[in-house]
Amino acid sequence: MSRLPGFHKLSVAERRQQVIKACNLDSADDTALGDTNDAMASIADQLIENAIGTYPLPLGIATNMLVDGDAVLVPMVTEESSVVAAVCNGARQCHSSGGVFTTHHGQGMIGQIQIKGISNPHAAAVEIRKHEDEILDICNACDPRLVQLGGGYRGLKTRVLDGREPQLILHLIVDTLDAMGANSVNTMAEKLAPQIESWSGGKVGLKILSNLADERVVQATAIWSVEDLDGSKTGGSGMNGESVRDAMLAAAEFAQLDPYRATTHNKGIMNGVSAVVLATGNDTRAVEAGAHAFAARNGHYAPLTFWERNNDGALCGTIEMPMAVGIVGGATKIHPTAQLSLKMMNVNNARRLASIIAAVGLVQNFSALKALATEGIQRGHMSLHAKNIAIAAGAQGAQVDRVANKLIELGTIREDVAEDILKEL
C-alpha cells in the first residue's frame, strides 16, 4: 500500500485522490487537508515533495513587547495553549523598565569541512592557511550578490579531532547577512573541497553547515521591578514582589544545578522561540539544535537564561543563544504568511528578527518561572487548556466556552467530565 510509483510526478489533487483511496478517507478528511486548488496548495507543492495538502496551525499575536525601545507585535505559531498569553503577560510586566534590550555577538555562519587521511593534521592546517586569499576568492565567487551587499567569507578556523585516525576540521566563517545562510555556506564548502584535498594531501569527507551557530549569538536582557512582580495587588499569587523575585531566583538556580530541570526550563524558552521562528518561515530544527548544543557548550547541559537580583532589588534576566534566522530565501520568501509575519513586526534585517526572537524567549521564560514559583503552572495553563478539552469532547461553537467555563468552575479539566457537561447542555 505504501508503494505509490510515480506519486511525486502527480499534481497535488491527483496525489490527494490516491491517498484518499489508499487510506479509505472520506470527504470530511479531504476537506481537512485544504483546497487542492488554492494558493497554499501550490506553495506546499513548491516547498516539499509529495505534497497532498496543508496543515493549518494557530497564529497568535504577542502584545506588549518592547524590543530595543521599539514596540512590536509578535506573530507566534504554536499549538500549545498559554504560550502566547505568557509572553503578553511577561512583556507587560517589564514595560515600565523599558522592555527587552539586545546585543549581538557576531554574524557568522559556520561551514565545516572534514579532512581525513592525514597523519599530521597540524602541518596540514598550516598548508591550508597559506592559501587563505584563494579560499576567500573561491568562497566569495560562490555568492557574488552576498558579497555585493557586504557579506561573504570572513575567516577560517581549524580544529584537530582525535578519532581512530586524526581528522582536521576546517570552519569557514561566512557572514550571510539577512539569510539564514545554509545554502551559501554549503555551496562554498563543497566548492572548496578539491583544493583543500590538494593543499592538505588528505581526503575531504563531509562538507556541511554547522547548526551550532556560536558565531551568531544574540543576547537579550530585561528587568522586572519588584512593584511589577507584586502579586498581592493584582489578585494573582498573593505574594509580594520580593517574595516572587526570590522564589523565581530559586527556580532559576534549580535549572542551573540540574540538567533534568534545565531541559524543561529551555523547552519553555523554545516554546516562544520556535513559535516566532515558525511564523517567519525559518528553520525551527536549526534553531533548536543550535540552542540545545549551545546550552551544553561547557560540558554539561545548562539553562539558556541567567537570572539575578540587581542593585535596586529588581529581577534581571538575560538570555544568550545562537540565532540562525533569515528574512530572505527559503520558506521565508515563498510563504505568504511568513512574509506577513515579517511585515507585522516591521522587520527588515535578520538581526532585528533575531533580537525579537531572543526577547520572546526571555519573556517566555520569565512567565514560566513566575507561574512555577508562585501559583503553579496548571491554573493558567489548564484554564486555557479547558477549551481544547471541550473541543476534544465534541463541543462546537458557543458550547466550547460554556463547557470550558464549567470545567474551570469544577476545577477538573478532564475529557470525560467535559463529555458529561456536554450531555447536560
CB of 185 vs ligand MEV, minimal distance in Å = 32
CB of 363 vs ligand MEV, minimal distance in Å = 13
CA pair distance 238, 368, nearest whole angstrom: 17
Intra-chain end-to-end CA distance of the chain, in Å: 44
Interactions with ligand MEV, residue window 74-93 (CB under 6 A):
80
Q: What's the length of the chain? A: 425
Q: Which part of the chain contacts ligand MEV (CB under 6 A), choosing from 54-62, 175-183, 260-268, 390-398?
A: 260-268
CB of 80 vs ligand MEV, minimal distance in Å = 6
Residue 207 near residue 113 (C-beta atoms within 8 A):
yes
Candidates 63, 183, 264, 412: give the one binding ligand MEV (CB under 6 A): 264
User: Rounded to 10 degrees, what is the CA torsion of 244, 250, 252, 258?
Assistant: -150
Annotated active-site residue 80? The verdict is yes
Annotated active-site residue 267? The verdict is yes
Annotated active-site residue 258? The verdict is no
Rule CB under 6 A: say whether 268 interacts with ligand MEV. yes
Task: Give the interface size with ligand MEV as a residue count (CB under 6 A).
Answer: 9
Out of 283, 320, 335, 387, pick the active-site residue. 283
x/- mask, ligand MEV, residues 337-376, rule CB under 6 A, reads -------------------------------x---x----
Extract the C-alpha cell encoding 190.
563543497
Within 13 Å, how many C-alpha atoms sit on residue 8's CB side?
A: 4
Annotated active-site residue 230? The verdict is no
Extract the C-alpha cell encoding 296.
551544553
CB of 272 vs ligand MEV, minimal distance in Å = 10
Out of 35, 45, 80, 420, pick the active-site residue. 80
Within 13 Å, how many C-alpha atoms sit on residue 272's CB side?
A: 31
In this complex, which beta carbon is closest to ligand MEV, that of residue 368 or of residue 395?
Answer: 368
| DSSP E strands, 14-58 | none
- Determine how β-strand 305-309 pairs with β-strand 315-322: antiparallel
CB atoms within 10 A of CB 1: 5
- Catalytic site residues? 80, 267, 283, 381
Binding site for ligand MEV (CB under 6 A): 80, 264-265, 267-268, 271, 368, 372, 377
